[in-house]
């Protein structure tokens, strides 16, 4: 509709401005002035008589005017000094046309001949538009103000004034010039030179514009229809679907799939579908998280209630001390749960707000291994970084958040240290390598330990919230079961993955430990020089 409105405004403006084209009228007026002045000078030189006093020789003036080539729809009038019409070019045409008359025909043959050419439909349309425009009040008033008064123009010319401009006889536009005939000082008469071809010129121009205007209107209608069908309606459909998703309380995929279009609207539908799926997934996660939190907090609360009730009836100091220890352990467990839950709930917001930076993964792993080496006395197990033997290989740069990624590695290393046997041969090994095949374009970080491994039936559940698998001898309640779940959450935010598997001896197929694998996409590297410089800076920082 907006396209048509703008086009119609332009068309109406063009048509109405052409009704009174000032430029054409001014040019026509100046042309008539020049011709009228030439005729007045010619009459002043050759039709003023031979007496001592200059007078207009009417017969000589008529002979001169008869020789003037008057254009079609133009007219020349000559008035003497008394204001009497002396000559009129409209009366000069005394030629006789000769030819053979058509044969006499009967009344039955008076029907229109089929060979008679009718006016083209767009010409008839243009004539109707012109008639409608001319009947507008503003143009009626304009014609009324410029109605012609011929005698007043003649009188002004005889008073040595030049009258020129547009005038109207009823609804017909006339451009007229009244010029005095003045050989020296005295005015001997007046010449009125007028033409009525301006309307014809404007009409022909508009008739030429009409087919182009109609084609433009048709094109605008078709383009508006195409925009409505292929853009406006699909966007409206997506908007209504999004509104249904917002107002609906049921989980349903109501966003239409328009990806077959292959354009921006198709991309928009995919993004909205992904956003809706992510929203539903987030809702499910919140519901499951709330249920898991309620379940995990309920256990220590139940233990607290039981211990407090038993404390009331405890008879010996040893029994009371035991109940107090249980209460303190449950309170500590609840404190750890609340702290870890708070960290997990804030993790998404922190990951979204923090900007990622290029990170040399090998330098990063070496720094973490060095940190655990300095605190080996507390753990009793070595943390070793297995460097790439190829010293000429380009550094492996990932776009990551240093602090959250470090938290992932620390959680995995701490988990591996918990299950590693406390002997001289046991260790936790860190290694990074470039992926191949399906993992091409990624860096794979592995964390290996020498512990008992993971039960096969628990491999798919180990990253669930509040899942715990305690080694023998570990105190109950010291782990909230959120560490690995937070690791998975951070890896997803980095567009990466985390997996776990058991390492086995190739000969005996005996489990020799667990292996956690992190897969992160490699960042685009501008040049080897830049990467080496970044690596040196990281080494200096470590």
CATH of the domain at 312: 1.10.287
In the chain, the number of structural domains is 3
**Residue 95 included in any domain:** no
- pLDDT in the model for residue 444: 93
- pLDDT in the model for residue 187: 87
Q: Which two tokens stand for residue 276?
A: 């809706």
CA 370/CA 542 separation, integer angstroms: 9
Q: Identify the domain boundary among 325, 353, 381.
A: 353
Same domain, 345 and 379: no
Same domain, 276 and 374: no
Same domain, 359 and 485: yes
Q: Identify the domain boundary among 327, 353, 379.
A: 353
**What mean pLDDT is predicted for residues 92-121?**
55
Q: How confident is the model at residue 422 (pLDDT cuts 50, 70, 90)?
A: confident
Q: Which domain holds residue 37?
A: 2-90+121-209
Same domain, 518 and 467: yes
Only one residue has tokens 């591996």, namely 416
The structure's pTM equals 0.47
Q: Is the pLDDT of residue 430 over 80?
A: yes
Q: Is the pLDDT of residue 242 over 90?
A: no
Judge contact between 199 and 214, C-beta under 8 A: no
- pLDDT in the model for residue 330: 79
Judge contact between 452 and 369, C-beta under 8 A: no
Per-residue exposure over 107-142, b if at least 16 CB sit within 10 Å of its own CB, e if not: eeeeeeeeeeeeeeeeeeebeebbeebeeeeeeeee
CB neighbour class for 194 (10 Å; exposed up to 12, middle 13-18, buried from 19): buried
Same domain, 416 and 479: yes
**Residue 70 included in any domain:** yes
Same domain, 387 and 516: yes
Same domain, 429 and 509: yes
Count other Cβ atoms within 10 Å, centred on residue 7: 17
Same domain, 304 and 341: yes
Q: Is the pLDDT of residue 312 over 80?
A: yes
Same domain, 23 and 161: yes
SS3 118: coil
Q: Identify the domain boundary among 301, 333, 353.
A: 353
- pLDDT in the model for residue 540: 43
Q: Specify the CATH number for the domain of residue 173.
A: 3.30.450.20
Q: How confident is the model at residue 528 (pLDDT cuts 50, 70, 90)?
A: very low
Average pLDDT along the chain: 77
The region, left, alpha or beta by phi > 0 then psi within -120 to 50, assigned to residue 49 is: left
Task: Name which residue leads in pLDDT, 399 or 299.
Answer: 399
Q: How many CA atoms lie within 13 A of 268 on its CB side?
A: 12
**What mean pLDDT is predicted for residues 219-228?**
83
- pLDDT in the model for residue 20: 52
CA 419/CA 413 separation, integer angstroms: 10
CA 53/CA 114 separation, integer angstroms: 66
Same domain, 372 and 423: yes
Percent share of the chain, pLDDT over 70: 73
Same domain, 84 and 41: yes
- pLDDT in the model for residue 65: 87
CA 437/CA 370 separation, integer angstroms: 32
Task: Name which residue leads in pLDDT, 200 or 85.
Answer: 85
The region, left, alpha or beta by phi > 0 then psi within -120 to 50, assigned to residue 319 is: alpha
Task: Name which residue leads in pLDDT, 324 or 465.
Answer: 324
151: which residues sit within 8 A by CB, 6+ positions away? 83
Only one residue has tokens 């609906």, namely 248
**Residue 106 included in any domain:** no
First vs last Cα of the chain: how many Å apart? 66
Q: How many CA atoms lie within 13 A of 262 on its CB side?
A: 0
300: which residues sit within 8 A by CB, 6+ positions away? 330, 331, 333, 334, 337, 477
Q: Which of 214, 176, 226, 219 is nearest to 197 (CA)?
A: 176
Same domain, 336 and 262: yes
Q: How confident is the model at residue 121 (pLDDT cuts 50, 70, 90)?
A: low
Q: Is the pLDDT of residue 212 over 80?
A: no
């Amino acid at each position: 509709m907006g396209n048509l409105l703008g086009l119609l405004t332009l068309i109406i403006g063009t048509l109405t401005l052409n009704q009174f084209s000032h430029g054409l009228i001014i040019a026509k007026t100046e042309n008539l002035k020049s011709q009228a002045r030439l005729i007045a000078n010619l009459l002043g030189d050759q039709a003023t008589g031979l007496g001592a006093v200059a007078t207009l020789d009417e017969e000589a003036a008529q002979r001169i005017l008869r020789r003037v080539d008057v254009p079609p729809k133009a007219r020349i009038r000559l008035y003497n000094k008394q204001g009497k019409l002396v000559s009129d070019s409209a009366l000069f045409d005394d030629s006789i046309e000769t030819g053979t008359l058509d044969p006499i025909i009967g009344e039955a043959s008076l029907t229109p001949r089929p060979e008679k050419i009718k006016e083209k439909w767009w010409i008839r349309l243009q004539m109707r538009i012109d008639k409608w425009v001319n009947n507008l009040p503003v143009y009626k008033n304009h014609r009324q103000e410029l109605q012609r008064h011929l005698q007043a123009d003649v009188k002004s010319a005889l008073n040595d004034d030049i009258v020129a401009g547009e005038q109207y006889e009823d609804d017909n536009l006339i451009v007229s010039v009244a010029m005095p005939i003045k050989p020296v000082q005295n005015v001997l008469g007046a010449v009125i030179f007028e033409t009525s071809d301006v309307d014809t010129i404007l009409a022909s121009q508009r008739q030429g514009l009409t087919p182009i205007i109609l084609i433009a209107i048709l094109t605008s209608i078709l383009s508006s229809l195409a925009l409505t069908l292929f853009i406006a309606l699909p966007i409206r459909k997506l908007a209504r679907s999004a509104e249904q998703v917002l107002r609906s309380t049921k989980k349903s995929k109501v966003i239409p799939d328009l990806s077959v279009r292959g354009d921006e609207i198709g991309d928009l539908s995919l993004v909205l579908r992904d956003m809706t799926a992510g929203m539903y997934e987030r809702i499910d996660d919140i519901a499951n998280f709330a249920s898991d939190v309620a379940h995990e907090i309920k256990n220590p609360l139940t233990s607290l209630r039981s211990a407090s009730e038993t404390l009331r009836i405890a008879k010996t100091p040893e029994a009371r001390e035991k109940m107090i220890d249980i209460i303190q352990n449950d309170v500590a467990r609840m404190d750890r749960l609340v702290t870890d839950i708070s960290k997990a709930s804030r993790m998404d917001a922190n990951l979204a707000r923090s900007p990622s930076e290029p990170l040399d993964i090998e330098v990063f792993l070496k720094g973490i291994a060095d940190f655990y080496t300095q605190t080996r006395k507390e753990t009793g197990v070595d943390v070793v970084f297995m460097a790439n033997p190829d010293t000429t290989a380009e550094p492996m740069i990932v776009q990551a958040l240093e602090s959250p990624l470090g938290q992932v590695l620390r959680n995995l290393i701490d988990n591996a240290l918990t299950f590693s046997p406390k002997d001289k041969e046991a260790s936790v090994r860190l290694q990074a390598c470039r992926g191949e095949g399906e993992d091409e374009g990624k860096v794979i970080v592995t964390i290996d330990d020498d512990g008992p491994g993971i039960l096969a039936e628990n491999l798919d559940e180990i990253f669930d919230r509040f899942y715990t698998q305690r080694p023998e001898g570990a105190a109950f309640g010291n782990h909230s079961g959120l560490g690995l779940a937070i690791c998975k959450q951070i890896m997803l935010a980095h567009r990466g993955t985390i997996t776990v598997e058991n390492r086995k001896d190739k000969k005996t197929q005996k489990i020799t430990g667990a292996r956690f694998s992190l897969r992160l996409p490699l960042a685009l590297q501008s040049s080897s020089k830049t990467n080496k410089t970044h690596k040196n800076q990281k080494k200096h920082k470590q």
